[in-house]
Structures are given as C-alpha cells and as structure tokens.
Chain A
Amino acid sequence: MTPLDPARIKRDFPILERTVRDGKPLVYLDSAATSQKPRSVLDAERAYYETCNAAVHRGAHQLAEEATEAYESARAAIAGFISAAPSEVVYTKNATEALNLAAYAFSNATALHGIVGNPRQDPRFVLNSGDNIVVSEMEHHANLVPWQEACAKTGAQLRWLPVSDDGRLDLASLDTVIDERTKAVSIVHQSNLLGTINPVETVMARAHQVGALGVVDACQSIPHMPVRIRELGADLVAWSGHKMLGPTGIGFLWGTPEVLDAMPPFLTGGSMIEIVEMERSTYAKAPQKFEAGTQMVAQTIGMRAAVEYLSALGMDAIAAHEHELTGYALDRLDALDGVTVIGPQDNVNRGSAISFTVDGLHPHDVGQVLDSRGVAVRVGHHCAWPTCRRFGVPATTRLSTYIYNDRSDIDAAVSGILAAQEFFGVS
C-alpha cells in the first residue's frame, strides 16, 4: 500500500488551482456534498462526445455499437470496483433516485397487488396494514422521505433505530424495532452528518431473520473505503457517482439478481420493455428493466475513469489517509474552546465528515467567515434535519475531506474558526 501524496493528487484536479474571494487559494473541505473531478474524468467524457456519441441499446450503426460497448464496459468496471457482477448494477440519476426506486418497489407492488388482470406481485414487496418499514434516526432525507411516502401510500408504519448521545446507532432495541411485521430495513452505512460508520451487517442480518428486505445507503462509504458489496449483507445498496470523483447525473443501485428480478419497475417507458402492446407491456430483465429512456452515457464513461483513478490509488490507501486526517482534525477541534463535535469523537468506525458547533455562533456565520478566507465547508442541517433535532441543534458546520486534502487544509479551517470567534466577539 503506497501512502497518498495529496500534493501530487491535487495537480490532477484543475479546479483546485483556482482562487476564490479575491485571490484566496481554494481550500475545499466539502467533499461529502460533492467531490471535485480529476482531469482524467473530464477527458473521458469529452473523448466520448468527440468520438462515439450515440444512443445506447438502439440503432444499428457503428457509433451506436461503440457507445453501447462503452456504456456496458463502464458498468463492468464500476461493478468490479465493488466486487459485483455487471448485471447487478443499475444506473440511476443519483442515490436519491436509487433509494426512490427501492421505496417505490413497495408502494407500486402494493398498488398493483390484488387488481384483477395485473401480474402477480412478489409478496415481499406488498405492504399490508400492520406492516412496518425501519430506518434510523441518522438518515439523509434521501433515505427517509421516500420511505415516509411509501408508508403514507400504503398505511404501513415507519419506525427507526435511535441514535445514542455519542452519535452511534443504538442497537439495544434492534430486536424489538425490527419485528415479524417488518418488510424493509434501510440504513445508512456512513452518516453524512455524524460521520459514524454503522455495523450494517448486524442490522441486515436481523432484517433477514424476520424476512424483511435490507437496503443500505452507501453514499458516504463507497467513495472512502474498500467495499466488497456482498459483505454488507444487503439486498439493495444505493450510492452516487459525484461524491467519488465522477460526474453529476449518475448514481447506482446494486441488487442481488434475485431481488432485482422480483421488483416491479420504477420509471417506465422506452428501453426498459420486452414487448409492448396497446393494452399492456412486459419488461426487460434487470438492469435494463430499471433504465427507462435515453441514458446518461457520457456520465458512465466519466464514472469509469473515476473508479480507475480511485483503484490506482488504492481504496485501502485512501481509507488510511482519511483516517489519519480525521484523527488530526478531531484533535485540533477538540483543543478549541467553545467547539463541540456532533458525532463520534473517537476515531473508531468513523469517516471523515466532521460536524461541529461553535458556542454563540450560528453555522451560517462560521461558514461565511471561513468562506471569506477561501475555506469551503458546508453549513446547515445537511439534509438530515431529524438528526440535528436529535442533538438539539438547528444546524452544524461540517468539514469533510478526500484524497486531495492534507493537514494544512485542516489548519486553515481551524484558523478560520478562531477568526470567526474573534470577529463575532465570542472568544
């Protein structure tokens, strides 16, 4: 394992050369929101448009053939990155769409079920009154609101695993929250607000014990650590490309072939069909069944370059680098008066997204002072409003690192926090 060299890596990211706010060098500490993109990803997309742009899985000309080949070999590369088979990876617009696809499988199957003339729905997806769906108290809205909707449409009950004061998933109630009436359990692998890495295998095992389907939101884990997808123990896993050097407009749903096969489609229309008649249609096999309409081909090509870039660095080396940087950041924040980390303070089963509050200062104001010094962080509730509420804060400031960050970036954030305290007179 070769340790990362952030100074060298930085040179591959054109945007990191720019200045902001009157000539300040950019210190980018918002990769949990979206990562920056290396030149190789940008070049790959450009080369695709310049050489073989065409609609995929349609048309008989050479460009269409080459585009289809590029699209499918990108799928194979992305699947290989998580040790999966290509047919197990569905392209979506982003993780949010992937999670909606999963949640809609339940509400759609429930609506279709029992109407005369409809194909039989797999009972695992049919929600009856008294059934429940389980999430956690540290979900991103993308893994909460779609399940709230599914429950609202079907009369199922939404339940959640609580979060402890130190920002960990509280598993004491695992066996009572997930019970015989649980149909789906959907849990975040690494929290984007707290940074916590959850023992999803334990939660998925309990889900399977009661016959529920297990879903994992791996948006913040797959970009930052080696993930062998089967080891999560889930049936479905969702994540986004743009948080792992890839373009926007592409996300993924991994599923076991058996489960993908049993799920009803989500978006319907062109390309996802088998036979279409005026009255009804039959559908293609997964993954095509879930890829309706003209696809984001250029993004898949860019995404392939992204996973190649990450693989060349080595996911072990990336995880080690971020672990070291997270420890450093936690120590530096801990030494500041009036600063409280929201989430695990020990650098164990913890990712590099670090949320904190500053006594007497609203995150918006902290972020503004940091921004005035060229330091880009995220402020707000980070699309995890209930988690903020759980910790009694309206919002937090969050710094998050990636392969191109080093200790000097953390130092810049810390100086900015001190400057904010001084500016507002709270130090």
Chain B
Amino acid sequence: MDLNGLYQDIILDHYKHPRGKAALDAPLASAHHVNPTCGDEVTVDVAADAEGRLILGYQGQGCSISQASASVMSELLEGASVEESVKVREAFVAMMHSQGNVEPDEDVIGDGVAFVGVAKYPARVKCALLPWMALQDAQIKAGLMAPKEETR
C-alpha cells in the first residue's frame, strides 16, 4: 500500500496549514456534520456578498483527510458563485465515488485532485466528503442553491 499516494503532499500541507478555518460572524446558515464511525466533526457556515458570491467559514476536528478536505473546499469556493460551487462540488463528489479510477480535472477542483488516492479507500471516502456534505446542507438552508438543485 502506497501511503504517499493516499496522503499526497497537498493533503498534508492543508492539514498542517488549514486555509480559511474560522467561523463566520454572521452566517446565513450553518451545518454541523459528524462521521459517526470515527467522531470527525465539521461545521460549515455560509453567507453571500452583494453579488451573491459565497462567503465560507468552517471549524472542525478530525483526521487529516477530513480537515484537509475542508481547507481545500474553503480555498476553492470562497467567492465562488452558487453555480460554480455546485459544479465544483459535483466534480469532487464524483471523483470520490470513482474508486480512484478517473483523471480529475484540476481546472475544476484545484487542489481537490490530491484526493483521488483517497477514493481507493472506502473507509476514508466519508472523511473526504464530510465538509462538502455539510456545505451542501448549509447552502440549502441558506437558499444558496442553483435552481436545478433546489427542485431535486
């Protein structure tokens, strides 16, 4: 087993130096998600600026994968439009469900490509998805969803 393939340097870097890790002062909505098998936790806060671009905050504790994933997500989606956020999330989720058999698109998911190795470990997929699921939940609560998602 290739530990370096799972824990790519980008992941370790985000884990040790998380980006954007703070709660928002005035979130439109928040979502707290836990991974009940291991106790990982993340709370994602969302708000929007005057143009409707996302403002994100998060807090959490957990393994390197879940915490690095939150950091990558925050870096990618801070200031993104709602449509962009949905596109990026769907691409990330699809990669995590690919068992590692896709070539992820760095133009869409940026540092998120580093998680392709994680997709090979079913027990860790949940860790990587935790912040993204919390974000989706928070966006739904805040009404910050693309029209197509709202009707699903």
Q: Which residues of A contact B (CB under 8 A)?
A: 21-22, 362-365, 368-369, 371-372, 379-381, 385, 388, 394-395, 423-425
Contacts and interface: CB of A to CB of B under 8 A. Distances in A.
Nearest to A388: B39
Interface of B: 1, 3, 6-7, 12, 16, 37-41, 61-65, 121, 124, 127
A372 B3 contact: yes
Contacts of A395: 38-39
Point out which of B1, B6, B37, B121 has the most chain A C-beta atoms below 10 A from its C-beta: B1
A395 B37 CA distance: 10
Contacts, number: 49
19 contacts: A362-B40, A362-B64, A363-B38, A364-B40, A364-B63, A365-B64, A368-B124, A371-B1, A379-B38, A380-B39, A394-B39, A394-B40, A394-B41, A394-B61, A394-B62, A395-B38, A395-B39, A423-B3, A423-B7
Contacts of B127: 364
A391 to B, nearest CB: 12
Given A368-B121, A372-B3, A394-B61, 11 more contacts: A362-B40, A362-B63, A363-B38, A363-B63, A364-B124, A365-B63, A371-B1, A381-B39, A394-B38, A394-B39, A394-B62
A190 to B, nearest CB: 22
Given A368-B6, A394-B62, A423-B7, A380 B38 contact: yes
A394 B39 CA distance: 6
A379 B37 CA distance: 9
A371 B64 CA distance: 16
B10 to A, nearest CB: 15
B38 A364 contact: yes
Given A364-B62, A364-B124, A365-B63, A424 B12 contact: yes
Contacts of B65: 364-365
A20 to B, nearest CB: 9
